[in-house]
Amino acid sequence: MINSKELVTYTKNLSVLFAEDHDDLRMNTVEVLKSFFQEVHSAVDGEEALAMYSDYHDKNNKFYDIVISDIQMPKLDGVELTKKIYGLNDSQIIIVLSAFDESCYLLPLINLGIEQFIKKPINYQELLKVLLSSSKKIKQIDVKKVDDPLIKIKLSETFTYDRMTNALFNLNKNIYLTKYEIIFMQLVTTNIGKIYSNNVIVSTYIANGENLDTQNIRKLLSKLRKKLPENILESIYGIGYRIVPYFEDK
């Protein structure tokens, strides 16, 4: 179960926009979000959400920290809303709510770059877990803006990946990576926590002059997992893979 006090330490200064056309679900979720976030705004459809997103930036000279959106909404659905938001801010953290029969929409959304998706009906513990991860990521990004560029990626207490030299270290010991493993690590460490679909992975290898089909992705990652911290490389069934963010205790 998520520790509410821990979550508040990361979310208390953040803003969130929630787009959902179902009145009861929207109102109930807003009440939950208000317990954690400094600002919580809600929209009844994608069109209103987009207008609120732009207005918020105009008034505050910054974007919402997190956007949560349903997929099926009138006037402008969640897929189109996501596209338009990324057109304004390509680094926006977006969490998508998805009903069981809406799985066909998830792959396009993953390819667009959404942070995470949550199945409906909403399990609020799952929602809070995703919000904690996203909020920690926002804090780390803010720290990196002040400090050095995100070159050395902390994967665990002892593991580090250096994006500049393509080197993987465990307690300062260099772990050998093949060319194919380096291509994969360069991709998935571009945005820690983001899900990269099989199509995007295959396209990345093609762009690097290499061929890799879906079956060989699994073989490649089976070997790579043995070199990485346990459980850090997450497989999202039928969709793709991501690096699970590591957060140091402060």
User: Domain boundaries in the chain?
Assistant: 4-145, 148-243
Element spanning 98, H or E: strand 93-98
CATH number for region 148-243: 1.10.10.10
Handedness of CA 151, 153, 154, 158 (dihedral sign): negative
Residues of the chain with pLDDT below 70 are 100-103, 141-150, 249-250
pLDDT reported for residue 103:
67
- Rounded-to-integer distance, Cα 250 and Cα 219, Å: 37
- Rounded-to-integer distance, Cα 46 and Cα 63, Å: 16
pLDDT reported for residue 50:
95
Cβ-defined contacts of 7-13 (< 8 Å, 24+): 7/36, 7/128, 7/131, 7/132, 7/135, 8/36, 10/132, 10/135, 10/136, 10/138, 10/139, 11/36, 11/37, 11/38, 11/131, 11/135, 12/36, 12/37, 12/38, 13/38
Cβ-defined contacts of 30-34 (< 8 Å, 24+): 32/124, 32/127, 32/128
pLDDT reported for residue 149:
47
pLDDT reported for residue 218:
87
Note the pTM of the prediction, 2 decimals.
0.70
CATH for 4-145, among 3.30.70.260, 3.40.50.300, 1.10.287.90, 3.40.50.2300? 3.40.50.2300
Bridge partners (DSSP) of residue 119 are 98
CB 189 within 8 A of CB 181: no
